[in-house]
Chains A and B, each alone.
Chain A
Amino acid sequence: MKVQKLNYPQFNETLYRTTLFNGLTVNLLPREGFHKTYAVMTTNYGSVDTQFVNSQGKQVDVLAGTAHFLEHKLFEKEDHDAFDVFGEYGADVNAFTSFTKTSFLFSTTQNLSKCLETLLDFVQEPYFSTQTVEKEKGIIGEEISMYDDDADWQLFFGILKNLYPKDPLSVDIAGTKDTIAQIDPQVLYDCYNEYYQPANMDLFVVGGFDLTEVLDVIEADQAKKDFNAFQNNNELPLFLGKSGSDIRTFAEKTLNVTRPKSMIGIKGMQETPQKRAGLKYKLELELGLYLLFGESSLLFQELFQAGIVDDSFNYELEMERGFHFAVISGDTFRFEEMEERIKKTIAHAPEILANSSTELELAKKEFLGQYIQAQNSLESIANGYDGKLFDHATLFDYAELVPQVSLADVCAAIERLFRPQVISTFRVMPVNEEK
């Protein structure tokens, strides 16, 4: 087995990477002085993966919320719960589901080998029964209810419904009470067998551990298990940028909030570049959006000084497998003025950026510093790894890339995101402000 050794001398880090016989990608980053080890096992499968072609060549439609439901149910086995096993070892364990990934994680300062085996076992040995599946519906139902009352979450999914009305991106990651009501053990097994194959997964371990010991544990564990020959990945290629004309340009909803919330979304219509070029594109966009909408931007300064927005003003770029979009938002009674100024900034982005060379140099210092600060956190390092999406890039690669970005790169990336211009507005309005 070949272990790749990746050196980052500037940051005093060495990352070890290998792919096991069964296709599982393993990243190991030992760190001096740390007591804790954090391990996260990720499947390249999330809430937007709602269609696949099964081994009989038949297209299968998956109920919304299945990936998240699976995440919950992998912990519970016929005669035990993985939570208890980690508890015996004194470790903390958790999991989360995003649009394109499902991750299972633990952190511990002791019994590392046993914890690693437990992680691999509970993720790789599914057990679903009607009784355990039914029981989970009440719990996930409450999780959905909780998010129904979360105005920021509703704002975010509101803009997604506008920008991606026919795509799975517009449905809550947990699904709806209706879709989860239809989930049964067979649905979970079908999706599990399709997506939880070692070659579609990776394991990232970071912290105070011994490299050889950990590698041996993982290898020995995997060698014991019998995996069906990795079926040709039947994942349908995902690209959610095709439909630009059928978006909703505006919608609003009323909720129990004290003041209006407004969000403007910009939908990326072009496919993102592959591998490291995709990483560079993402970084260029992050820098461009920071210059246009960040804390030190002229727009924010103007809106802030005029009392139109406060610290709730924010922007975000989401770029995952199959889609990318940017959102800019704020909580304000003067939402119309804010929206108008944001749209004006979008329209004049090329001119604004062309005059931002001094600001870009400062922004690059800021970004470099932030990527280095993030290296303190084991969780940030491991969770910041995007697997195959950007050809196995890590936080260290982001930091190394920062000095290479030019103003021309930033302008071109923003141009690529903003043209053709597909933008939409979504508002959450207080009950008494209803129009």
Chain B
Amino acid sequence: MEIMDGVNLTLKPTKKFKTNQILVSFTTNIKNHQEITARTLLADLLESTSEHYSTQRAVALKLSELYGASFGTSVSRYGNVYGLNFIINVVNDQYLPGTTNVLQETFAFLNEMIFSPQIVDGKFAADAFQIQKQNLEAFLASLDDNKQGKALTGMNALYFHDRLQQIPAVGQIADIGGLSAANMAALYHKMITEDQINIVVSGHVKEDEVVSALKVMPFTARKKKHLSLIYTQARSPQVKNKSEKEKVSQSKLNLAYNLPIAYDSQERFSAMVFNELFGGSALSLLFQNVREKNSLAYYAESDMDLFRQDLWVQTGIQAENKDKVLQVVKQQLAALQTGQIDKEQLKKIKASMINSYIARADSQSVALSRALGASLTGVLTSEKQWISGVDAVSAKDVSQIAQKAHLQAVYFLDGGIQ
């Protein structure tokens, strides 16, 4: 439902959960890579304080008063689209003792956090700004402490041609220096007046109740934009290789492939089945062959992002086994490309995907993110369509997708031979 130009509401009424969940998502296309980091800092500033709640402790105490409401902001990337999300989860009043009005108070709290930041004279309050900037700097630096994460970032930097896509969705430390309390306030105003807004509410709520609560919030109409999601890049004839030495017990070998499949095509179902069969589950070829048959890894898995049109493999291995693992991974993809697909295995993979799709609908946050996804892409897939889409995928379909996957980059975090 469109509340006004550029502001949409999706309501997901359900009595299944004991909580009500509200998501307010601001999305935009951005051109300058520094804005990625800036939006992360903005998300942190908007989460931690407001005009009325001037310290992080004041916010925490308010959340306790709302019976332990879980509130937070986050940033996300959907291909070329960047989101800044407010999310809050509160207990439904019917399960609380006495007479309470937590839902209405929650909307009032969200209103405060979204629309009344600590901005004075065109700048974020100096204290809050300094603390959040310092903390974000430390957080971005510490991303490298997670070695699996570091290897993934290294692989993406190698694979992607576009500067924005090369850096993590939360930004990078090099872009923090230029951020000031004034330009953050300007970024806030741009977001609040220009970004496309999607609101999703799930829970035991009535439409008129939600609509009237939202009316109190000063959302303004904005120019409706069609955001372009898909990031594409030309396939390179050569595979890029990079190795970095690091003092670690376990080396990480990652492979990135170009996979040009449109997220809104029927082919996406074949791509999902392909990924699951290649390395997306414990029944997959990578798990079976890298881990179970050859004992080369504890984890060996694949994943894909159709908004970015890439597929990647992550493994944690011993450095001396690098060539062997590379060979086994390539063999598995080649097997799929040449149609060596076990019918029984394919059947199991599809059954388990359908099972987990239905099972995940039992999670309120999954229901919320599916609704947001549908708003962003304009692709509405019913449960029935999804199931029949997956069910219809044949071995030949999988093989055709596998043929479209082209290795582009191999990144190795090298712990040395021990």
Chain A contacts to B: CB under 8 angstroms: 10-12, 32-36, 81, 83-84, 87-93, 107-110, 135-140, 142-143, 145-146, 148-151, 207, 256-259, 294-296, 298, 300-301, 304-305, 307, 310-312, 331, 362-363, 365-370, 372-373, 375-378, 403, 431
Contacts and interface: CB of A to CB of B under 8 A. Distances in A.
Interface stretch (B59-67, B78-86, B265-273): B59-67
Nearest to B139: A310
A170 B208 CA distance: 57
Interface string B245-288: 01111100000000000000000000000000000001100000
A53 B248 CA distance: 40
A122 to B, nearest CB: 14
Interface stretch (B30-38, B190-198, B346-354): B346-354
Contacts of A369: 66-69, 90-91, 96
B298 A366 contact: no
A90 B70 contact: no
Given A259-B142, A362-B64, 14 more contacts: A34-B16, A35-B359, A83-B283, A88-B348, A145-B250, A146-B250, A150-B146, A207-B362, A295-B60, A296-B64, A311-B135, A311-B139, A362-B65, A376-B18
A403 B64 contact: no
A378 B359 CA distance: 11
A423 B359 CA distance: 44
Contact of A258 (B90, B96, B145, B364): B145
A373 B102 CA distance: 14
- Interface centre among B144, B282, B296, B361, by most chain A C-beta atoms within 10 angstroms, is B282
Contacts of A370: 68
B17 interface: yes
Given A90-B352, A259-B138, A362 B298 contact: no
A377 B364 CA distance: 9
B316 A90 contact: no
A11 B250 contact: no
A3 B247 CA distance: 57
A51 to B, nearest CB: 28
Given A90-B351, A146-B250, A140 B19 contact: no
B147 interface: yes
A88 B350 CA distance: 10
A35 B361 CA distance: 8
A135 B14 CA distance: 48
B35 to A, nearest CB: 23
A296 B355 contact: no
B125 to A, nearest CB: 12
Contacts of B355: 90-92, 108-110
B358 interface: yes
Contacts of B359: 35-36, 92, 107-109
13 contacts: A10-B97, A34-B362, A35-B362, A84-B283, A87-B283, A87-B349, A90-B352, A137-B295, A138-B295, A139-B291, A366-B67, A373-B18, A373-B91
B142 A258 contact: yes
Nearest to A304: B56
A365 B55 contact: no
B106 to A, nearest CB: 11
Contact of A307 (B68, B131, B354): B131
A63 B146 CA distance: 30
Contacts of B250: 142, 145-146, 148-149
Contact of B298 (A88, A142, A373): A142
Contacts of A107: 359
B18 A142 contact: no
